[in-house]
Amino acid sequence: MKSIGSRITLWYAITLTATLATLFIAGHYLLERYLVRQLDELNENQFKHLRAVLGQDYASLTPAVIDERIREATESASSMFYTDMHGPMTNRFFRSSNLHGQSIPDIVGQNIYSISVDGVGEVRVGEFLLRPFDVMVATPLAPVRDLMAGYRRVFFGLLLLALVLALLIGYGLSELFLRPVRVIQETANRIRSDNLTERIPVGNVKDEMSQLAAFLNQMFDRLENAFSEIRRFSAEASHELKTPLSLMQLHAERLLGDDTLTEAQRDSVMVQLEEIGRVNHIIDELLFLSRADAGAVLIELAQQSPAAFLGAFAQDANALAEYDGKHFVWTHTGEGSVSIDGKRIRQVLLNLLTNALKVTPLDSGVSMDSTLVDDRWRISIVDEGPGLTTEQCERMFERFVRFGNAAGGDTRGAGLGLPISRSIVKMHKGRIWATSRDVGRGLRVVIELPATQRA
């Protein structure tokens, strides 16, 4: 079992059931011994009664008188006691009628024992000496056996009930004991690079769970400090790099105006300008992410029709797809309006479309489905590329994560574009995710936004 709660429930049920079974076995043994001792005491009391009936002159009595006296005293208890009295050389002086002519077997060396008698059943025998006679008094063991059988039936029923209750109680206890662990797990899952301020609640009880929560909170504090330092470095480094890059770009552009440059030198300067532009673009993206993490990026919400908004976007999307030798189709269902920052959402859609077109084969296409229902606007973009694994789908929105496609010539989830898209979607109180499970070949990226929200 992978679940700790299931193991706790099972072990609790097994432990409780085994404990009750052990108590039953011990109780069965002790109760049976107690009842048998009571039979031994009954046999002894019956012998004392017989001795009193025979009187002090029992040794001089004839067998007929002995038989008469004992029979008068024992007939009233014939269903409870069996009596067998014999003298030297096994001469029988008396044998109770309920023995049906059978003798009680004598086990040499034992005065108290249990034995089975033909026609009578199992009896508890007590052998007593009344010189020169040997008196054997027996009591049936059937009532004791019946009582113990009933005891076993009742206990097994209670044991089954206890097992069911133990499973229920064990499940309840496991839920109670593991609740702090689940709180820790849920909170830890929510603490990510974009949510480092949340902490695990620490209870007032100073137990191991509280110590674990406090230890994890300390670790998250150190992690938040480390991320803050990294972001501060990224923002400051980006600001510091803007000036020298601008100077480099200015000098390169001046060189292009020099007529003395050869064609090769001019090409080299053009490459430098392209690379400087690319670095500037990366710095701008880093600055945007730093400002977004700090909550310094504002969005301008306005009511827009999804159909009209996507219709305008589709014109540029069709042009991009045709330029790459591919096609783009889109649909929208649902009436109403949404409150969005159109420029930012357009930036997200263009980024997702560009990534989808990069991995989609020639003469294939990218599709976009839009649905407005229950105050939620959902946009789904599906490509026909090689798709991604579940782990890659979870990591593709992290910074600087790239995945090579099947051809190995391009990348997917490039650099900082997808993290920026995720930041913009979160500014709109929405969420974005990717999956390959329901599309077969290809990747589906889904954006879900609330239709109505305040700026």
Query: 275: domain CATH number?
Result: 1.10.287.130
Number of independent structural domains in the chain: 3
Do 389 and 446 share a domain, yes or no?
A: yes
Do 263 and 330 share a domain, yes or no?
A: no
- The domain in which residue 340 lies consists of 302-450
H-type alpha helices, 327-442: 342-359, 390-395, 417-427
Do 108 and 221 share a domain, yes or no?
A: no
Is residue 152 in a domain? no
Q: What angle do CA 307, 310, 313 make, to 5 degrees?
A: 150
Residue after which a domain boundary falls, among 293, 324, 342: 293
Task: Give pLDDT < 50 ranges for the chain.
Answer: 406-414, 455
Do 228 and 99 share a domain, yes or no?
A: no
Do 278 and 338 share a domain, yes or no?
A: no
Q: Supply the CATH number for residue 142's domain.
A: 3.30.450
Q: What angle do CA 196, 200, 201 make, to 5 degrees?
A: 135
Cα gap 243→451, rounded to integer Å: 41
Is residue 151 in a domain? no
Cα gap 22→409, rounded to integer Å: 71
Q: Supply the CATH number for residue 337's domain.
A: 3.30.565.10
Do 309 and 257 share a domain, yes or no?
A: no
Is residue 390 in a domain? yes
Residue after which a domain boundary falls, among 293, 321, 345: 293
Is residue 307 in a domain? yes
Residue after which a domain boundary falls, among 263, 293, 323: 293
Is residue 184 in a domain? no
Report phi then psi at 268, rounded to 5: -65, -40
How many alpha carbons fall within 13 Å on the CB side of residue 419?
21
Is residue 60 in a domain? yes
Is residue 183 in a domain? no
Element at 136 (helix H, strand E)? strand 133-140
Do 346 and 227 share a domain, yes or no?
A: no
Element at 387 (helix H, strand E)? none
Report whether 136 contacts 148 (CB < 8 A).
Answer: no
Do 340 and 389 share a domain, yes or no?
A: yes
Do 421 and 311 share a domain, yes or no?
A: yes
Do 246 and 318 share a domain, yes or no?
A: no
Residue 161, pLDDT score: 92
H-type alpha helices, 260-330: 263-293, 306-323
Do 310 and 446 share a domain, yes or no?
A: yes
Is residue 142 in a domain? yes
Cβ neighbour number for residue 448 with a 10 Å cutoff: 16
Do 376 and 446 share a domain, yes or no?
A: yes
